[in-house]
């Protein structure tokens, strides 16, 4: 029973950053944006979250600083891809490379690790009275506030995307920007705010990794989770509910990885470490035909 409870707790913690980043990508992806830079945004968010917590003594303040920093950083991506109409994949790759070097430099400037790892405030668990004491599944109700909000946001995002004019405009821009422009929808503004929102939530996802899963920042700690978030959106068919399901699948793979490493199974650790990425590859390859991207994905639009 303890093993099952531990696995469930790990599953939720591992899937939360994918879910947070994935919900942001639901908006930008449905607007026709391929945000390859999510990996870099999450990495910057992880660093700035730790730095903000270190400076202010508050994990909440650290999360806000992380979100603001990555939103500003995502504006660079938006400017080059939308205003300058540069290739989205190329700009996204450049963002990732730049973020990797920037975080390494800032980490060594902000944190003096010669005297050990600096102590920061983290996202503490907030047990729900009554529910958290239920055997086995009680661990699901002993998570941080960020984790609860991430899962509660799923129906909110679903409602926005499916039942409001905002969601309709976003999906319209992704499917047929020319027709949307004819109807009076501002294509540039719509894609701009979806990229900024995606960057903001990617920053929160990164901050959760450094202050929710761990209590410190390490160089390159995102380790492909940004690309996994993109895969989550594809596997989830660009729907927030699907994104949640895909996040849980990938989270289960990562949780299983850690359980196998702790169990001393004799399997080479390199193979165990590959497990989440193998699951990602198999899932995307298996479901890619069932997931239809918006028709105008990665297509630049020029107003006539």
Query: What tokens were used for 282?
Result: 């198999």
* Main-chain phi, psi angles of 300, to 5 degrees: -70, 145
The closest alpha carbon to 302, from 84, 33, 32, 74, belongs to 84
Q: What is the pLDDT of residues 141-200, one digit of tens each?
A: 888 999 999 999 999 999 999 999 999 999 999 999 999 998 899 999 999 999 999 999
Question: What pLDDT is recorded for position 146?
Answer: 94
CATH of 2-287, one of 3.30.43, 1.10.101, 1.10.3470, 1.10.357: 1.10.3470
Question: Hey, is 125 helix, strand or coil?
Answer: strand
Task: Report the distance separating Cα 211 and Cα 120, nearest Å.
Answer: 8
H helices of the chain, in order, are 2-30, 38-56, 59-78, 88-110, 145-163, 165-175, 177-182, 187-208, 225-235, 240-262, 269-287
42: which residues sit within 8 A by CB, 6+ positions away?
A: 17, 21, 70, 202, 203, 205, 206, 209, 222, 225, 226, 229
Q: What is the pLDDT of residues 27-65, one digit of tens each?
A: 999 999 999 999 999 999 999 999 999 999 899 999 999
Q: Quick check: 174 and 294 in contact, CB under 8 A?
A: yes
Question: What pLDDT is recorded for position 233?
Answer: 93
The closest alpha carbon to 77, from 67, 88, 66, 68, belongs to 88
pTM: 0.93
Provide the mean pLDDT of the chain.
Answer: 89
Task: Report the distance separating Cα 122 and Cα 144, nearest Å.
Answer: 10
Q: Is the pLDDT of residue 286 over 80?
A: no
Point out which residues pair with 125 in neighbouring strands. 144
What average pLDDT does the segment 198-223 reach? 91
Task: Report the distance separating Cα 167 and Cα 156, nearest Å.
Answer: 11
pLDDT grade for 303, boundaries at 50, 70 and 90: confident
Question: What pLDDT is recorded for position 116?
Answer: 62
* Low-confidence winner among 47-56, 229-238, 276-285 (lowest mean pLDDT): 276-285
Q: Is the pLDDT of residue 288 over 70?
A: no
pLDDT grade for 95, boundaries at 50, 70 and 90: very high
């Amino acid at each position: 029973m303890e093993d099952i409870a531990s696995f469930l707790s790990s599953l939720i913690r591992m899937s939360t950053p994918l879910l947070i980043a994935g919900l942001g990508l639901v908006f930008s992806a449905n607007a026709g944006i391929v945000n390859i830079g999510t990996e870099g945004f999450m990495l910057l968010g992880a660093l700035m979250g730790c730095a903000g917590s270190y400076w202010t003594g508050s994990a909440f303040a650290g999360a806000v600083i992380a979100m603001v920093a990555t939103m500003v950083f995502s504006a660079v991506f938006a400017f080059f891809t939308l205003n300058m109409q540069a290739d989205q994949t190329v700009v996204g790759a450049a963002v990732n490379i730049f973020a990797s070097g920037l975080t390494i430099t800032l980490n060594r400037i902000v944190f003096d690790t010669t005297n050990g790892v600096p102590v920061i405030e983290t996202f503490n668990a907030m047990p729900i009275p009554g529910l958290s004491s239920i055997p086995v599944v009680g661990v699901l109700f002993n998570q941080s506030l960020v984790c609860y909000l991430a899962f509660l946001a799923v129906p909110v995002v679903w409602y926005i995307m499916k039942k409001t004019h905002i969601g309709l405009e976003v999906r319209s821009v992704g499917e047929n920007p020319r027709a949307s422009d004819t109807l009076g929808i501002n294509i540039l503004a719509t894609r701009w705010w979806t990229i900024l929102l995606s960057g903001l939530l990617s920053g929160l996802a990164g901050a959760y990794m450094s202050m929710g899963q761990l209590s410190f920042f390490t160089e390159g700690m995102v380790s492909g989770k940004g690309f996994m978030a993109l895969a989550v959106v594809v596997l989830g068919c660009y729907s927030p509910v699907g994104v949640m399901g895909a996040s849980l699948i990938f989270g289960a793979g990562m949780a299983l990885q850690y359980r196998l490493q702790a169990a001393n199974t004799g399997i080479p650790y390199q193979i165990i470490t590959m497990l989440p990425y193998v699951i990602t590859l198999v899932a995307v390859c298996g479901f890619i035909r069932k997931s239809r991207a918006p028709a105008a994905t990665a297509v630049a639009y020029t107003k006539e």
